[in-house]
Structure 1
């Protein structure tokens, strides 16, 4: 049986099956992973290989010239380049989320390559400290890196898009860590990078604000789970321990029968952990005996969202948990509806009556069986098995008539799955070499996949997939045209124009914008081609004219401005750049002058040019706050400096460590006080000045309260909340101090204290407070506070003290089910005193369940009627 042979390849781990199909036989030759540094991109991405210069190379065994080579996942060479960079040994390399290869060398320089092995400018650096102290190790995650220097300092780039470098707190240890693992910012409470390091004393957690010891266990290898909830640790005594992130209780504690640390540790989805030594791959899962896979060649583990790709010198495999739908169908001895439906296809083709019997057995479960077969088809890499599984859902009309089933059932779902499988099979072809699973495809999304194809210059396949999925094809055509222009420098402009027009004038490209391609040609130095492309613009003649004028003007401006800068005519260059309206040209001139001229002279030049000034301010707000402050000071815009300082104070306040008496509050308060003094310089900002003064004063008091109480509950709360919290904590002296400092009115003070005392149910203190003097808010808040706390007996103490009889009567109606005759008499007397017959009627309805109370109200109402009161 086919299903027996399929399941025979599976490995049972406790109650879960795993499989390890081969994706590719590697096409490369003479590649030994043990002698190279290797970086593999997730989602079936490319593989970067470069000789490891820390390994000994046999004389004359290979060229002394080091090459960086990039392959697809099937081992086909995409591109290569000679490695020429100084700066010491290559410490580490990894692919970023946008498939940029990040390479970090010993002096902290960061080199970036695209998939075509082209160096991307400009280079970046981990900073002066890394240059002086040398980087010895680095650990990457999706879009960032942490580097360790010889001096045991830790520097982090949280996002390669911005290349901002920050230093993590330095642990008070001399030795370098045994291992490191990063908790990505999206999984931390603070939103910042957290680094776990294994040292001789246990496990430490570092971030920008401090060092914290999280566990006593000595570990030699660590790995954080894909969802950031668990950390797997290989201990010094040869155990694999999996803890949650607070290290409170281990989920797995498994002996590995060796104290030798593994070369690699990787999570296989969320179900198991893989550990690799030089000849063995060990899989550990909860409640299961470890499973061993033996290899006679080195391997590299590539974690994916639903498993692990295993790269060796000769093959690429994919280890994953068998999907539930696949298990239902192919598990040995399975009698699930999906298995019977799949089996029915085989019997039908052999003209066996067993097909009819199977369908009758699963008649009521047929929808679920079809769904399972469709889902199982999506998880298969083998095309023949995909076909068989999908075919099992397309039931023959003769069988459908027997069981009375709707022939249109799940047709849309089947068609959608067939579409996805055709796309996946196309990109899995060894020539393309992107072995995506269906789960990876859905997580990556089709637009991103098409973007990766066009970046790899697979434009034809990207175009066909876009057309097949009904997506916008213009993006693909535009990228192809721009790439063609860049790569065809030897082709004359006229010939290249004909090539481009042949593609553009196809039906599918009818509405494409020639002007955008012309702009790229202009930037690439092919200005004649740009002008000819604009002439062929299919839109209105008016649009063509203005775009033509714009490109021609840009041609002259882009030639003129750099020439003026080269001869020292910065003033004229700035004029020409701003007149052109091209922000790139303006920025070119602004940055040039910024570097060449003193700060005050630079400020004076751009101030006279609104566009240049606005662009500089926009840039400086993001990257150069201190320089922007100098600019505002030089131009007398003190209020802008004050706003910047106040903003900095709020940013500092967002730091999660800015609590519990943190020293961060010191500089924060100083920033606010400085902004107050600057606001005070202008009459127009008197409100902001007063607000800043009050803010600094309140923050200082709240900081002192957090220090004294050791509770991070005061900072950034309002004045009212601060007073209320002090009273709740029993710190009445501090509450009075806040009241005095901020001139809190007596009425507001009474409201806050009454409800705060009621919150902590200090009824004795509340009664004492009510007797200190006549409350400026009256006694009704006392009654309401008691009622809110469900203490009707306490409320009764204050009702007789209400001045207004009507108010006293209304308050007495708080809860008719809990009030007795005493309360009803109190209400009746109050209403009688107010001589309000209507109120007596409402009170009688309130106390309708109490016969004695109703009698009292009737008597009083009759008396009022006799006296002529209505």
Structure 2
């Protein structure tokens, strides 16, 4: 009998059954859909209601003040606000995919509201043309809208996220269309929206590129199928024609009783089309007689992926094709395995032996019967029927050896979630197919947005999903809604819930508290954030620079420390900034490294403020070298003045510390040398002195013939006599002033001996000049080697024999290896030396 009572509610349409269960008795009061504009979101979403300003207001019936009210699908009020948006009459409103209410008014302004009836800024516009010409109609789809102006121009906003508007091609007809329908971009070849319009010339298709006529049908109402493949048209002569989008092969061509166009036309899944007149709902399907449903109150049809929700003043129904599994079990006279299994449970409950007989009949098909019962349970809205079907599945599963044991458990989980969402207070009447299309995470997101945090949290926990999103949203909402609660009290409330989720971002909640004007609460919250990378930037944004610097240095993350340093550097006075970083070695070191490269003056101020005079001196000295690299610092350039002053200042600073005596003396002499070199460049007009050494300066002076200047440098820097002689010998040789060199050798006995004179002459390839000095060499070994260097073998041999050094003779022989006569001389001498040694 149970099967009979269930199937009795069904309607047979050709070979398919349809059912229309009531989901809710509407909880609202005094709502007349015929007097209001209504927008219903798909997937069991909210219902927006606002009085239609084109209808006459009944005296004393309601307030003249228009209100936008948002209800859930059970008619429970979620929010309301006074409608005070200018721009003329409200032309159309619809819900976007993210459940934002889009309202388009006469001048083309687009207003957006969230589910709490709060206006989302900024407003958008359909453009100057819509403002000037007035919008007369708009057609919505998932996330876009097409508007028609009084001048019969078409403007498209393809995505409410970007709010970009484009104009479609203009049809060559003056009169406004009888009807407009949209093929969504995801179903078109071009990936752009295509608009179908019904005119006196037939059906035209518009897009951005052009206009084309697609059919001669004179259509008064159109609706595109959910998959974008078919178009249902109600013609001027009262026929419903369903065709593919190419208009090449009609699927339905059914004459209706009325030539008046229906108020609404909607697809019921993919199997049938619904037409609604003011008291009658007609279902038309292929190869079937139209089915009529009569109503004594106005309706709103809400297409879903698997049916149509029917909203009236008093109830919410769901018209859908009966699922195959449900039909197997509950169809009158069904003998399917699933029906027998369901019947077996009934017998089992009544302790009838017929239960076992049924099971034996379907033993081979038992797994399929169990699966059908589970599937049918999923499609049911009635909880007691869900329970019965799942019990039947469980009863049959006990006799199956190879059935997946977790299927019933999965379905139980799904149904518990769906039943919780369907509760009238929540009012989201999802079917199982809609739930699978929507996904659990999106459902949780919608519950959160509706401030149903507890249910969202329980579902997340039940399904093993991340609860962080729910708790975060709750915490932010709690802060916004609890302005009267003291910060300390609210902190305890928040922490009690936030600790439920490991790894939750306390910094994000603190950021919201800061935006809400509760900086003290934000500072207390951010203390609980374990991740420095999240904590430090927020501390800076709420003005807690000291704490941010402590946290950044404790983390050891140099990037974070630099972030804090640069932030404080910009915000605080220099001395205050220096004081903050001075006591923190990491921050101080990082600042110093950066400032050495880019901010010398600021770094000098820092070192002076902290008493590090020697560091300032080193910086000054470095700056002087940097100035020296400037290509302009030549030919007696004025840049040498600042260089010298910097070094003198460095000398002054070094002299104030006992530990830097060497640096002080070096800086003093460096400045003195630079000054002399600068003067020499000015007098000689040659940029060859500055930044050379003392020795090079002396040598250059001598080469230039400026002996007085060379002597001045020698005296000024206390150059030793030996060094002076070396420098002058090679300088005179460089300028090849051999007479001066000879005179210089005779001034007095050279403290360095005559060897440098010989080497200078030999290096200059002046053998004759070298012979002046070789005889004066005291050491016979030096004489022998000197003679050998200028190729005088006999003299070298004589000097070597005086030295009585066999090893020297051997080396000299190698020098003259190409000269056989010379080699024999050295051999003779070595033999003689060896003989003398033996004797």
| TM-score (norm. length: structure 2) | 0.63
- CA positional deviation for 1:834: 87
The offset of 1:742, in angstroms, is 77
In 2 relative to 1, CA 738–521 (structure 1 residues): closer, same or farther, beyond 3 Å? farther
Q: Kindly tell me: are residues 234 and 592 of structure 1, through their superposed partners in 2, closer, same or farther at Cα, counting changes over 3 Å?
A: farther
CA distance in 1 between counterparts of 2:136 and 2:423 reads 39
1:17 partner SS: strand
- 1:512 is displaced (CA, Å) by 2.0
The equivalent residue for 2:495 is 501
State the shift of 1:759 in Å: 86
In 1, the alpha carbon distance for the partners of 2:744 and 2:169 equals 50
Alpha-carbon distance change, 829 to 697 in structure 1, aligned in 2, over 3 angstroms: same
After the TM superposition, which of the residue ranges 695-704 and 430-439 deviates more from structure 2?
695-704
Task: Specify whether residues 143 and 541 from structure 1 end up closer, same or farther in structure 2 by C-alpha distance, changes over 3 A only.
Answer: closer
Verify the 8 A CA contact 1:48 1:68 in the aligned structure 2: yes
Residues 470-497 of structure 1: CA deviation (Å, up to 9, x unaligned):
0001111111001111122222212211
Instruction: State the distance in 1 between where 2:99 and 2:333 align.
Output: 44
Quote the Cα distance in structure 2 between the aligned partners of 1:193 and 1:694. 83
How has the CA–CA distance of structure 1 residues 588 and 840 changed in structure 2, closer, same or farther, with 3 Å as cutoff?
closer
Structure 1 Cα separation of the partners of residues 725 and 283 of structure 2: 67
**2:180–2:197 Cα contact (<8 Å) kept:** yes
Does the Cα contact within 8 Å between 2:267 and 2:308 map onto a contact in 1? yes
Q: Is the 8 A contact 2:513 2:522 kept in 1?
A: yes
Residue 300 of structure 2 aligns to a residue whose secondary structure is strand
Aligned equivalents of 2:505, 2:573: Cα separation in 1: 44
Deviations 1:259-297 (A, max 9, x none): 100000000000000000000000000000000000000
Deviates further, 618-627 or 411-420: 618-627
Q: CA deviation at 1:508?
A: 2.8
- In structure 2, C-alpha distance between the alignment counterparts of 1:797 and 1:246, rounded to whole Å: 116
Conserved 8 A contact 2:344-2:354? yes
Contact 1:306 1:320 (8 Å CA) reproduced:
yes
CA shift digits 1:503-538 (9 cap, x unpaired): 2xx763243221221111122221111111122335
TM norm structure 1: 0.61
Q: Write the distance in 1 (CA, Å) between the matches of 2:230 and 2:747.
A: 58
> Are 2:526 and 2:538, in contact at CA under 8 Å, matched by a contact in 1?
no
Cα separation, partners in 2 of 1:603 and 1:183, compared to 1, 3 Å? farther
Query: Judging changes above 3 Å, is the alpha-carbon distance between structure 1 residues 808 and 702 closer, same or farther for their aligned structure 2 residues?
Result: same
Give the equivalent residue in structure 1 for 2:584.
Answer: 609
How many residues end up aligned between the 2 structures?
Answer: 828
In structure 1, what is the equivalent of residue 770 of structure 2? 795
CA 1:592–1:501 in structure 2 vs 1: closer, same or farther (change >3 Å)?
A: closer
Q: CA deviation at 1:788?
A: 83
Whole-angstrom CA distance in 2 between matches of 1:17 and 1:723? 115
CA distance in 1, matches of 2:333, 2:829: 89
1:419 to partner: Cα distance = 0.3
CA distance in 1, matches of 2:730, 2:720: 16
Between the aligned partners of 1:656 and 1:461, the Cα distance in structure 2 is: 75
Q: Deviations over 1:180-221 (max 9, x none)?
A: 000000000000000000000100000001000000110000
Match of 2:830 in 1: 861
1:456-476 deviation per Cα after TM superposition (whole angstroms, max 9, x unaligned): 000000000000000001111
Match of 1:522 in 2: 514
**Cα 1:794–1:562 shift into 2, 3 Å:** closer
1:361/1:199 Cα in 2 relative to 1: closer, same or farther (>3 Å)?
Answer: same
Contact 1:27 1:75 survives alignment (8 Å): yes
Return the offset for 1:597. Answer: 28
* Maintained 8 Å contact 1:190/1:656: no
CA separation of 1:715 and 1:269: change in aligned 2, threshold 3 A: farther
State the partner residue of 1:174: 174
Q: Distance in 1 between matches of 2:343 and 2:603?
A: 73
Deviations 1:566-592 (A, max 9, x none): 999999999999999999999999999
Partner Cα distance (1:344, 1:413) in 2: 20
Contact 1:837 1:869 in 2 (8 A): no
Q: Secondary structure at the match of 2:838?
A: coil
Quickly say closer, same or farther: Cα 1:345–1:576, change in 2 above 3 A. Answer: closer
Question: In 2 relative to 1, CA 562–377 (structure 1 residues): closer, same or farther, beyond 3 Å?
Answer: closer
Q: Which runs of 5+ in 1 are unaligned?
A: 388-400, 543-559, 811-818
Distance 1:200 1:453 in 2: 47
Supply the RMSD in Å over aligned alpha carbons. Answer: 23.6
Cα pair 2:279 2:298 within 8 Å, conserved? yes
Instruction: Please state how far the C-alpha of 1:126 moved relative to its aligned partner.
Output: 0.5
Shift of the 404–32 alpha-carbon distance from structure 1 to 2, 3 Å rule, reads closer
Conservation of the 8 A alpha-carbon contact between 2:507 and 2:538? no
How far apart are the structure 2 equivalents of 1:856 and 1:248?
A: 122
1:435 aligns with 2:429: yes
Q: Which moved more, 1:737-746 or 1:357-366?
A: 737-746
Give ranges in structure 2 of 5+ residues lacking alignment: 388-394
Task: Give the deviation of 1:142 after TM superposition.
Answer: 0.7
Contact 1:359 1:403 in 2 (8 A): no
Q: Structure 1 492/574 Cα, relative in aligned 2: closer, same or farther at 3 Å? A: closer
Pairwise CA distance, 1:678? 57
Deviations 1:688-728 (A, max 9, x none): 99999999999999999999999999999999999999999
Question: Could you tell me which residue of structure 2 aligns to residue 246 of structure 1?
Answer: 246
Indicate if the aligned counterparts of 2:367 and 2:400 stay in contact, CA closer than 8 A.
no
3-state secondary structure, aligned to 2:500: helix
Structure 1 CA distance, aligned partners of 2:550 and 2:151?
Answer: 50
Q: Distance in 2 between matches of 1:856 and 1:288?
A: 135
8 A Cα contact 2:366 2:400, kept in partner: no
Is the Cα contact below 8 Å between 1:645 and 1:675 reproduced in 2?
Answer: yes
Pair 1:779–1:310, CA change in 2 (3 A): farther
Alpha-carbon distance between aligned partners in 2 of 1:748 and 1:287, rounded to the nearest angstrom: 121
| Secondary structure of the structure 2 residue equivalent to 1:701 | helix
Whether the aligned pair in 1 keeps the contact of 2:222 and 2:232 (CA below 8 Å) is yes
- d(CA) in 2 for partners of 1:723 and 1:475? 80
State the alpha-carbon separation in 2 of the partners of residues 701 and 217 from structure 1: 105
Answering whether residue 466 of structure 2 is matched by residue 472 of structure 1, we say yes
Q: After superposing the two structures, state which structure 1 stretch, 571-580 or 733-742, moved more.
A: 733-742
After TM superposition, give the deviation of residue 9 of structure 1 in Å: 0.5
| Counterparts of 1:807 and 1:314, CA distance in 2 | 127
Tell me whether 575-584 or 138-147 shows the greater mean CA deviation: 575-584
- Bigger radius of gyration: 2
CA distance in 2, matches of 1:536, 1:473: 18
Distance change >3 Å, CA 413–CA 783, structure 1 → 2? farther
Please say if residues 523 and 542 of structure 2, whose CA atoms lie closer than 8 Å, have aligned partners that are also in contact.
no
Rate the CA distance shift 1:486–1:339 in 2: closer, same or farther, 3 A.
same
Distance 1:651 1:171, change over 3 A: farther
Could you tell me how far apart the structure 2 residues matched to 1:322 and 1:789 are? 115
Maintained 8 Å contact 2:91/2:135: yes
Q: Secondary structure at 1:250's aligned position in 2?
A: coil
In 2, are the aligned partners of 1:137 and 1:149 still within 8 Å (CA)? yes
On the 8 A contact 1:67/1:83 being kept in 2, the answer is yes
- 1:443, distance to aligned residue in structure 2 (A): 0.2
Tell me if the contact between 1:69 and 1:80 (Cα under 8 Å) persists in the aligned partners. yes
Which 10-residue stretch deviates more, 750-759 or 30-39? 750-759
Q: 1:26 offset after TM fit, Å?
A: 0.2
* Structure 2 CA distance for partners of 1:123 and 1:18, relative to 1, 3 Å: same
Cα distance change of structure 1 residues 328 and 727 upon mapping to structure 2, 3 Å threshold: farther
CA distance in 1, matches of 2:262, 2:827: 91
524-533 vs 338-347, greater mean Cα deviation: 524-533
Q: CA deviation at 1:405?
A: 3.4
* Cα shift at 1:404: 9.4
Structure 1 residues 603, 24: CA separation in 2 closer, same or farther (over 3 Å shift)?
farther
Contact 1:565–1:573 (CA<8 Å) still a contact in 2? yes
| Counterpart in the other structure of 2:19 | 19
Measured in 2, the distance between the counterparts of 1:696 and 1:173 equals 93
Instruction: Choose 565-574 or 522-531, whichever is displaced more.
Output: 565-574
Deviations 1:594-614 (A, max 9, x none): 999999999999999999999
Which 10-residue stretch deviates more, 364-373 or 705-714?
A: 705-714
Question: Structure 1 pair 68/608, CA: closer, same or farther in 2 (3 Å)?
Answer: farther
1:48 Cα offset (Å): 0.2
Q: Distance in 1 between matches of 2:768 and 2:363?
A: 68
1:249 positional shift: 1.5
Once residues 713 and 252 of structure 1 are traced to their aligned partners in structure 2, the CA distance between those partners, rounded to angstroms, is 102
Structure 2 CA distance, aligned partners of 1:584 and 1:86?
Answer: 50
Which secondary structure state, in structure 2, belongs to the residue aligned with residue 536 of structure 1? coil
Contact 1:209–1:657 (Cα < 8 Å) also in 2: no
C-alpha deviations, 1:232-251, integer Å up to 9, x for none? 00000000000011101211
